[in-house]
């Protein structure tokens, strides 16, 4: 599995997504992770969007967020290893997590990203393994 592509401005999101996908496929056990030379198929992924939204605000200031939600959107395609132009299956997945915005917002966003990516990758692995 090559490194995911990242269409967002969030740095290192592609490495978190690739690691989360490898973990999800390994935990599921339906597919075996192998080298490119011995693979039957290759999973290509792209992080298309990160969407933050306010879940709750501070009581005294409605513009200041207390809790935020992060939605991650991934597009993926499973292609034949010997003929990459042949797409075996493709789709999109999303993952959502919520976090509190106390203290440093940048650190809170950075800490929330791996959880949202893990949820999106688990959804992708379930779709590949179970067909839905």
What does the pLDDT read at residue 3? Answer: 95
Q: Could you give the angle at which helices 105-130 and 13-28 cross, rounded to 10 degrees?
A: 40
Determine the average pLDDT of the residues in 29-36: 87
What does the pLDDT read at residue 95? Answer: 97
Lowest mean pLDDT among 27-41, 52-66, 111-125: 52-66
Percent of the chain with pLDDT over 70: 99
Residue 81, phi then psi, degrees to nearest 5: -65, -40
Beta-carbon-side half-sphere exposure of residue 85 (alpha carbons within 13 Å) = 0
The domain ranges of the chain are 5-130
Mean pLDDT of the residues in the chain: 92
What does the pLDDT read at residue 63? Answer: 76
5-130 belongs to which CATH class?
alpha beta
Instruction: Report helix, strand or coil for 130.
Output: helix
Question: Pairing mode, if any, of strands 61-80 and 87-100?
Answer: antiparallel
What's the predicted TM-score (pTM) here? 0.89
CB atoms within 10 A of CB 96: 14
What does the pLDDT read at residue 59? Answer: 78
pLDDT digits (tens, 9 = 90+) for 90-120: 999 999 999 998 888 889 999 999 999 999 9
Is residue 76 over pLDDT 90? yes
What does the pLDDT read at residue 132? Answer: 55
DSSP 5-66: EE-SS-TTHHHHHHHHHHHHHHHH-SS----TTT-SEEEEEEEEEEEEEEEEEETTEEEEEE
């Amino acid at each position: 599995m090559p490194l995911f592509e990242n269409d967002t401005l969030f740095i290192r999101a592609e490495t978190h997504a690739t690691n989360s996908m490898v973990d999800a496929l390994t935990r599921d056990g339906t597919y075996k992770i192998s080298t490119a030379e011995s693979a039957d198929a290759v999973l290509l992924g792209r992080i298309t969007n990160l969407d933050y939204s306010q879940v709750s605000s501070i009581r005294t200031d409605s513009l200041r967020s207390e809790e935020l939600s992060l939605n991650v959107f991934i597009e993926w395609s499973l292609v034949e290893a010997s003929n990459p132009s042949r797409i075996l299956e493709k789709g999109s997945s999303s993952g959502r997590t919520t976090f509190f915005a106390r203290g440093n917002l940048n650190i809170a966003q950075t800490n929330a990203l791996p959880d949202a990516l893990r949820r999106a990758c688990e959804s992708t692995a379930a779709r590949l393994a179970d067909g839905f």
